[in-house]
Amino acid sequence: MTSTRLPTVFKPPIPKTYEELGIPESLVIDLVLRRLMIEGFSSLRSLSGALRLSFQVVETAFRHLRSQQLVEVKGMNGNDYQFVLSVSGKQLASDRFQISQYAGAAPVSLKEYSRAVRAQAARVHVDRKTLRSAMSDLIVTDRLLDQLGPALISQSSIFLYGPSGNGKTSLAERMLRVYQDAVLIPYSIEVDNQIINLYDPVVHTKLELEDPEVDPRWILCRRPCIVVGGELVPSMLELRLDDSTGIYAAPLQMKANSGIFIIDDFGRQLMSPRDLLNRWIVPLDRRVDYLSLRYGVKFQIPFELMVVFSTNLDPGDLADEAFLRRIHNKILIEPVDAQSFDMIFSRVVNGRRIPADPGASEYLRALCQARGTDELRACYPTDICNIIQSISDYEKRTPRITKPDLERAVELYFAKSHNNML
């Protein structure tokens, strides 16, 4: 894979005026007031850095506040003013703070955000060789790679299904590796004078590369990958207003724009599959989503992401034909064959430097097929090795893959049928 590079399709210039900012002047003034209230003693350069605004824009806001006697100049540092809020300025800042406590990087407009997402839509160029390199830490057949490749190039939604334990989640999480570029993500977005926080350091990986000619309200990140499982509830897919701060948090699909959104164990969420599918049937089809502010203002955002559904349930039991038709790529992740099982086993024991008796892999295969579902799962070697490690730690001895320990581990791993216990 090539090294990450600065994006070239979307490079917003640094705004020097309110008009170029694209957000209301009143919002900029409120941001300056709230920031001054937090900092107490400040300067133009300090405000410029904190609010991610050009010196010219901050200076314009400062002159407005000074003309309204809302700030008091305390000195100069070269051509930079040093100042504090006046008594009336503190009162106004306090009033604005009651409405919203946001005092971070200035937001970008919804229009500019939408333009950026469209411009930075992923375009993937892969073949079997590059895809195998991306999945190099997994044992994947050529047949599966040849199914994944076209699906990734299409950047449409993907449905991974099949028995549990065969690597559906591992495959989905490694799809992010096919992206070889970076994207610009705004710290926040302005909609109807409201602030929506978008950048989330938990899901967005910041890159320490900066272009001095790019609007600092945008942050360079790797394409995001968000994974949710059984904890998914409807509120996570809608704007959430923090009543104490007056700031909206972007929903998960908005944070995942320009990247991948993985719904793991689909069908086992607190949110029913039908509710989720009904919520997303339009976004998946038209690549747009609709969100609403607390007081009813509805607006459109891009839905420019690849949604990956991963499930061990029957697709027909989860969704109707109309929805499945909108998911163009349905890939069955089958149980592994004997050769793949042995390769996984070898990789696990070699990676952990655990010695294994001759024929250990074949013996484990026979034990698993006798005790399990007669199918070999990709997870068995790792899980069984974990148990053997624990057995060795319990008995205070060096771990080794022996037939007796394999039998003990398999005994612990597979549940017995109640009928067999009678």
Count of H-run helices and E-run strands, the chain: 18, 17
Q: pLDDT tens, 256-286? A: 999 999 999 888 888 888 888 888 888 988 9
Residue type, 308: V
With both helix axes pointing from N to C terminus, report the angle between 403-413 and 380-394 in degrees, rounded to the nearest 10. 110
d(CA 327, CA 55): 48
What number of CA atoms fall less than 13 Å from residue 244's CA on the CB side? 0
d(CA 379, CA 145): 19
Q: Which domains does the chain have, with CATH numbers?
A: 24-106 (1.10.10.10), 122-332 (3.40.50.300), 338-421 (1.10.8)
Residue located via tokens 């950048």: 199
Q: What is the residue-level pLDDT of the chain in tens, covering all 422 positions?
A: 444 455 567 899 999 999 999 999 999 999 999 999 999 999 999 999 999 999 999 999 999 999 999 999 999 988 899 999 999 999 999 999 999 999 999 999 999 999 999 999 998 889 999 999 999 999 999 999 999 999 999 988 999 999 888 989 999 989 999 998 899 999 999 999 999 999 999 999 999 887 889 999 999 999 999 999 888 899 999 999 999 999 999 999 999 999 999 999 888 888 888 888 888 888 988 999 999 999 999 999 999 999 999 998 888 888 777 778 878 899 999 999 999 999 999 999 999 999 999 999 999 999 999 887 788 999 999 999 999 999 999 999 999 999 999 999 999 999 876 555 44
d(CA 196, CA 259): 19
d(CA 146, CA 259): 21
